[in-house]
Amino acid sequence: MIKRVDPKPLPETKLPELKQVGKPLRRVDALGKAVGATVYAADYSMPNMLHAKVLRSTRPSARIAKLDVAQARALPGVACILTGEDVRGAKLNTDLPGQTGREARSGSDAPVLALDVVRYVGEPIALVAAETVEIAEEAVRRIQIDYEDLPAVFDPATALEPGAPVLFEPDNEVSRYKIRKGDVEAGMAEADIVVEGTYKMPFVEHAYLEPDAGVAWVDEQGVINIRVCTQVVEHFRSIARALDVPQNKIRIRGTMVGGGFGSKEDITVEIFLAFLARETGRPVKLVYTREEAFSATSKRHPFTIKHTTGVKKNGRITALQVEMLADSGAYPYLTPYVLLYATGMAAGPYRIDNVQIDSVAAPTNQTFTSAFRGFGGPQAALGYEQQMDEIAKALDLDPFEVRRVNYLKTDDTTCTGQTVTSAVWSEECATRALHALGEPAPSTPTRKIGRGMASYFQSYGRITWFHDTSRAWVGVEQDGTVQLRCGVPDIGAGQSNSICQIAAEILGVPLERVTIYATDSAVTPLAGTSTATRQLYMSGNAVTKAATAVRDRLVARAAQHLGVEEATIDLGDSRVGVKGNPSQSIALKDLAHLCAAEGIELSELAQFNAPFNEGLDPETGQGDIWPDFTFGTAAVDVAVDTETGQIEILKCAACHDVGRAINPAAVHGQIAGGTHQGLGYAVMEDFILDEGQIKTPSFAEYLIPTAVDFPSTEVIILESGTGVGPFGAKGIGEPALTPAAPAVANAVADAIGLRINELPLTPKRILDALAGVSEEEGE
Amino acid sequence: MREIRLNVNGRAHELRVSANMTLLTALRDLGYTDVKNGCEIGECGACAVLLNRRVVNSCMVLAAQADGATVVTNAGLGTMKDPHPIQEAFADAGAVQCGFCTPGMVISTKALLDRNPDPTEEEIRDALSGNLCRCTGYGQIVSAVQLAAERLKRSISSPASPRCGDGHEPAPAEPLRVSGEVPRGGEGE
Amino acid sequence: MLPVFELLKPASLEEAIEMLSEHPDSMPISGGTNLVVDMRSGKLSPKTLIDISQLGELCCIHEREGILEIGAGVRIADFLEDPMIARDVPILAEMARSFANTLIRNRATVGGNLVNAAPCSDTAPALLVLDAEVDLQSMVGTRRMPLAEFLVGAFQTRRQANEILTGVRLPIPPKEVRTAFEKMGLRKISCMAKVDVAVSVHVGEDGGVTNARVAVGAASAAALRVVPAEDALVGSSLCAETIGRAANLAAEAAEPRAGSEYKRQVVRGMARRLLTSLAEGGRA
């Protein structure tokens, strides 16, 4: 078992004392949600509105031999039926060219509606809009469809074998990367031992509480308005392309999202609504059932990851070779990027000079896979962190000690040769997480206690060759209140609140005096996606830039007004004046009046650009991928019941360096929630397909953790102040999840003395593994 | 189709429902969109309401079965201007992230604290075991319930005006024979 | 959306039974926690539903001459609140505590759970160790049969289409009887990868077992009593060896579906632990 350790003392950091930032203030969206006033996507209705339903494939791989909508169309109350013929050529632009250096793969973009073939159960085939939901459902039932089954493939390894059915010409290789750093052969030769391990992980469902939904209508300017829960308002461009209309004729009004976790990063209902609204000229509403949210939206990529590691007796890694195989599902969607993330993070937060990584993703006739919190990072961590424990076991070293001698430090390079420039507090985080577990409980013959840890690193900010930007507008009203306009989608992590808190800090007003208008592609400055743990970094910096510009003008005018030096001016409590001298100050509202009368701009639109790079070397995979990384550790104590196979999580602790916590309660919530999702990933979540048919179609079969399953995570927040986000913040949204599942896997392996190489760790797998061991022992 | 009467958050409603309409659909059609549809099979609790003071999944109650009943939804407990202490506690304790589970959580909390004003953590978790949350990991929600319990105990000494769901809602027009009201031994013979 | 059906609201049990006879392809509905889900999935689509949720005749718990009578409409939540249950048959409260979640407990009824006869039914194993009988009423009268006889297989019972299960009755166990119920699964609340075990032992003054019941749920098509395990316990002193033997017999009796053979081990472990806790006088 991992030895007890004391927390490593933190390096000295002098973070400035702030008034609003750094406080666990009540979020601006919290009360509206708590009293049920917030209008989510499905809560909105309009006069004369139609209701839509989707006909979806029941076969995983088939030709549509016959599609006859005549009877459905004849049903009274049906306003419109659209098939693949009606939207011929309209695509979802899922496979962005250039990411692997290859040409765009012909046909691999998902069609809006299937035309000749269907490639997965749940693929959309036809749309119905009718006066009521019941009529729409009945119409869908009346559509006559005949399938002719085609050969299918259900696992990516088979898909890559010669002779396998090809989903998209020319072959089943959706994406491939290689990393070559140093000299792996030499490194292996240097090693004292070589450790091998293969780790598998399943499809996982996001299971956000709010099923995808939206309402669309055509307004008096002919603009198609789509009110939808989404992580991306910029989809208006893809939708415009699909409808063959100018981009300024599609308006996305994003709602408060009831959870996304990456699933709402893809286009979901909005494109169907756009077509139906245009076709009928009436408002149309589409609300997915939970079963549709399961079958028709993306999943986390299953991965099989093989590690071969050369190590010295003291634990130092001399060489690493990794092979990764990912399941892209029926359409690529964001697979090439997920694979890139997994590849770029495959070696973990460790200093390894000789690295060889080969990764490939292949399609199967199953639910398509795309973005899910961590985006390949959690899968990579399940590989490298389980491998670290196997190395410790092989060398008979303490699991933390093996990590400690290999941790990256600031100014070291990752496996792609990217230099880590911010603080790397892996050891500080690991020791604190482990220390928080306290003394382990004693094992009994039937209840084995195990302790496990996982250290990780996870990027924040998008791939830098996307040339990411974000914009925000900040303005001071004449009564001293503040308005923010920003395209940021709020998916529950406090995206909109954080930037309000930043504006409140910079302009010296209480948070209650900041109002934000957000998530409207026509009216609010575009802030990019709420994905890739990028909003605080990008929009936070954009708001900082905008608010600072306004602040500077206010300071200049106030200094003039008060007859003092600008450097002495401070803003706070809605006043502007000399720090520490309230008699030498002016109320912000009075200053705003003054500025307005003199034509001094009280608002600013600012754009923040992330670093712009140009991609990895195709042969060596060397180059910079991301703006920066977050580091941390999760540690878990488990009890494994050897009679029943039950796993009980006894205690869980997570420590992350978030750079700067803009709102500590929100950071706490992200870490607690992300860890919880990771615990579920480890022990109970398994989205099962059998011959392409979904065996876990609802919350009855697909289990996510409830309030009684796990204890609360002990959350430890560290602030190095070295992030590239506002006030030195890093990102935490995705990082929070990454280390949790491997920590559990390691704890279970510690408890029973053997490793189960596949998630989730169910009672069946535990008992079968224990039985396997006894069989061996009996021989 | 049949005519039914529902008292929702203190307001009397008369509506026509088909036999196969659930209480969830009826409530949302009436405009009570704070009651959420998360799964429609009783697994997630997003549709939780108080039905004659018992917390239930409204997706599994046929609207017609609720004829004559008193229903309280989250929006009936408080408003932006005058939030219920439970709602305020959720907002203050960081228990609200995406907020979609929150109405159901608040209703389950109300049902718990009405019965048990001083619950242990275990009792809180059990009371919320039918309300799924994907964002918070439940820790801050448990804290919110504890905060609400504390605040409610303090406010008993200075009672505010009666709130919907506190037993002050108007009595139903006719006495209800409600299932689950179990006469004690010997009665009803 | 649920399929189209007619909903009838009888004012009395008598009227409900009449309606059931008059309408072929009809089913009673109370809490609806299984029925609504099954109708939504298309598993069931009766033309008529008869709402028995408001019938007072079905909602009572009575004690009469040493027999506990539980109306079919009694909600699982009521088992947690009723002092008679807590005093006389605490195993039903134990079962109720692990039954689904709070929201479901407030609607699900004991009658509905038995009639649905899911392999993962929680009420069945608990009631089996209490030697429960069920009453089935129709236009021609009432049939009474042991629960073990009523449960035939997965989702299969001896209820005929024109019968309503009106109640469950069981002899109130003597004070010396110790009972225990446990449920385990992939998650604390679910029917996935789940196993239920219920046990009851009557320990005489000399410490010997005079009567025993062992029931297993969710590890076979229907919940079942394991008579061989019970026989092994009777006359014993509940020593570890006997308990081990009984636990093995319980495991052998389980008939899990293909792929779930591991459940036998779970049954063994749970039975051993529950019986051991009773031997230590742990549970009531």
Reduce the DSSP state of residue C201 to 3 states and report it: strand
Q: β-strand C6-8 against C141-146: which pairing, if any?
A: unpaired
Q: How many residues does chain C have?
A: 284
* Conformation bin of residue A753: beta by default, left when phi > 0, alpha when psi is -120 to 50: left
Q: β-strand C164-171 against C67-71: which pairing, if any?
A: antiparallel
Put simply, the answer to whether A669 touches B79 (Cβ < 8 Å) is: no
Q: How many CA atoms lie within 13 A of C190 on its CB side?
A: 23
The confidence score (pLDDT) of residue B158 equals 52
Residue of B nearest to A32 (CA): B80
pLDDT tens column, B44-73: 999 999 999 999 999 999 999 999 999 999
Largest CA distance in chain B: 52
Cα–Cα distance for residue pair A778/A223, rounded to 1 Å:
74
Cα dihedral across residues A368, A374, A380, A385: positive or negative: negative
Q: Domain A303-463+615-778 carries which CATH code?
A: 3.30.365.10
With contact defined as beta carbons under 8 Å apart, do A45 and A217 qualify? no
Residue B178 in this model has a pLDDT that exceeds 90:
no
Token pair of B153, please?
């105990």
C53 reaches B (C-beta below 8 A) = yes
Put simply, the answer to whether A209 touches B92 (Cβ < 8 Å) is: no
**Chain A nearest C-alpha distance from B138 (Å):** 6
Give the phi and the psi of residue B16 in degrees, each rounded to 5.
Answer: -100, 130
Which chain C residues are within 8 Å of B64, Cβ to Cβ?
A: 7, 9, 51
With contact defined as beta carbons under 8 Å apart, do B68 and B174 qualify? yes
Give the phi and the psi of residue A356 in degrees, each rounded to 5.
Answer: -130, 120
Q: Which chains touch C (3 or more CB pairs under 8 A)?
A: A, B
DSSP A52-67: EEEEE-SSSSEEEEEE
With contact defined as beta carbons under 8 Å apart, do B47 and B71 qualify? no
The confidence score (pLDDT) of residue A773 equals 60
Bridge partners for A444 per DSSP: A447
With contact defined as beta carbons under 8 Å apart, do C216 and C226 qualify? yes
Put simply, the answer to whether C104 touches B187 (Cβ < 8 Å) is: no
Distances in Å between the Cα of A2 and the Cα atoms of A435, A440, A716 are: 11, 10, 19
Cα–Cα distance for residue pair A670/B111, rounded to 1 Å:
28
Residue of B nearest to A26 (CA): B92
Comparing CB atoms, the residue among B20, B57, B188 nearest residue C103 is B57
Using the 8-state DSSP alphabet, how is residue A466 labeled?
G
Q: Which of residues 101-120 of C touch A (CB under 8 A)?
A: 101
Residue B186 in this model has a pLDDT that exceeds 60:
no
Considering only CA atoms, which of A81, A43, A140, A137 is closest in space to residue A275?
Answer: A81
CA C48 to chain CA mean position, Å: 26
Comparing CB atoms, the residue among C1, C37, C187 nearest residue A133 is C1
Q: Which of residues 19-48 of B touch C (CB under 8 A)?
A: 19-22, 40-42, 45, 48
The domains found in chain C, sorted by start residue, are 6-51 (3.30.43.10), 56-171 (3.30.465.10), 177-279 (3.30.390.50)
CA C208 to chain CA mean position, Å: 28
Q: Is B2 exposed, middle or buried (0-12, 13-18, 19+ CB in 10 A)?
A: middle
Put simply, the answer to whether B57 touches C107 (Cβ < 8 Å) is: yes
Q: Which of residues 635-694 of A touch C (CB under 8 A)?
A: 641, 643-646, 684
Give the phi and the psi of residue A229 in degrees, each rounded to 5.
Answer: -85, 115
A646 reaches B (C-beta below 8 A) = no
Q: How many helices (H) and strands (E) does chain C have?
A: 12, 14
Q: Domain A469-609 is of which CATH architecture? A: 2-Layer Sandwich (3.30)
Mention every residue, 6+ apart, whose C-beta is less than 8 A from residue C185.
Answer: C191, C192, C193, C194, C195, C218
Cα–Cα distance for residue pair A514/A472, rounded to 1 Å:
14
pLDDT band at B170 (very low <50, low <70, confident <90, very high): very low
Give the phi and the psi of residue C276 in degrees, each rounded to 5.
Answer: -65, -40
Residue of A nearest to C188 (CA): A709
Distance between first and last Cα of chain C: 45
The confidence score (pLDDT) of residue A104 equals 58
Q: Which of C7, C85, C103 to mutate to test the interface with B (most CBs of B within 10 A)?
A: C103
Put simply, the answer to whether C36 touches B42 (Cβ < 8 Å) is: yes
Residue of C nearest to B69 (CA): C54
Cα–Cα distance for residue pair B157/B160, rounded to 1 Å:
10
Considering only CA atoms, which of A712, A651, A741 is closest in space to residue A440?
Answer: A651
Q: β-strand C156-157 against C151-153: which pairing, if any?
A: antiparallel
Radius of gyration, alpha carbons of chain A: 27
Residue of A nearest to B141 (CA): A707
The domains found in chain B, sorted by start residue, are 2-155 (1.10.150.120)
Q: Which of B122, B179, B187 to mutate to test the interface with C (most CBs of C within 10 A)?
A: B179
C193 reaches B (C-beta below 8 A) = no
With contact defined as beta carbons under 8 Å apart, do A400 and A5 qualify? yes
Cα–Cα distance for residue pair A215/C165, rounded to 1 Å:
46
Token pair of A624, please?
């910079």
DSSP A535-572: HHHHHHHHHHHHHHHHHHHHHHHHHHHHTS-GGGEEEE
Reduce the DSSP state of residue A255 to 3 states and report it: coil
The confidence score (pLDDT) of residue A89 equals 87
A158 reaches C (C-beta below 8 A) = no
Going from N- to C-terminal start, the domains of chain A cover 50-150+212-287, 303-463+615-778, 469-609
Residue B163 in this model has a pLDDT that exceeds 70:
no
Q: Which chains touch B (3 or more CB pairs under 8 A)?
A: A, C
The confidence score (pLDDT) of residue C281 equals 73
Bridge partners for C6 per DSSP: C48
Comparing CB atoms, the residue among A39, A261, A704 nearest residue B132 is A704
Residue of B nearest to A705 (CA): B132
Residue B161 in this model has a pLDDT that exceeds 60:
no
Distance between first and last Cα of chain B: 37
Using the 8-state DSSP alphabet, how is residue A620 labeled?
T
Other C-beta atoms closer than 10 Å to the C-beta of A76 total 7
The confidence score (pLDDT) of residue A225 equals 98
Considering only CA atoms, which of C260, C98, C115, C108 is closest in space to residue C193?
Answer: C260
* Conformation bin of residue A163: beta by default, left when phi > 0, alpha when psi is -120 to 50: left
The confidence score (pLDDT) of residue A92 equals 82
Put simply, the answer to whether B130 touches C100 (Cβ < 8 Å) is: yes
pTM attached to this predicted model: 0.96
- Place domain A50-150+212-287 in its CATH homologous superfamily: Aldehyde oxidase/xanthine dehydrogenase, a/b hammerhead (3.90.1170.50)
- Residue carrying the six token digits 């009943």: B69
On the question of a common fold for A50-150+212-287 and A469-609, the answer reads no
A133 reaches C (C-beta below 8 A) = yes
Q: Could you say which residues of chain A have pLDDT below 70?
A: 94-107, 773-779
Considering only CA atoms, which of B6, B61, B60 is closest in space to residue B32?
Answer: B6
Instruction: Provide long-range contacts, Cβ within 8 A and 24+ apart, for A388-391.
Output: A388/A348, A388/A455, A389/A452, A389/A746, A389/A749, A389/A750, A389/A755, A390/A195, A390/A197, A390/A755, A391/A195, A391/A309, A391/A311, A391/A315, A391/A317
Bridge partners for A447 per DSSP: A444, A641
A289 reaches C (C-beta below 8 A) = no
Put simply, the answer to whether B20 touches C103 (Cβ < 8 Å) is: no
Cα–Cα distance for residue pair A737/A680, rounded to 1 Å:
10
Q: Could you say which residues of chain C have pLDDT below 70?
A: 282-284
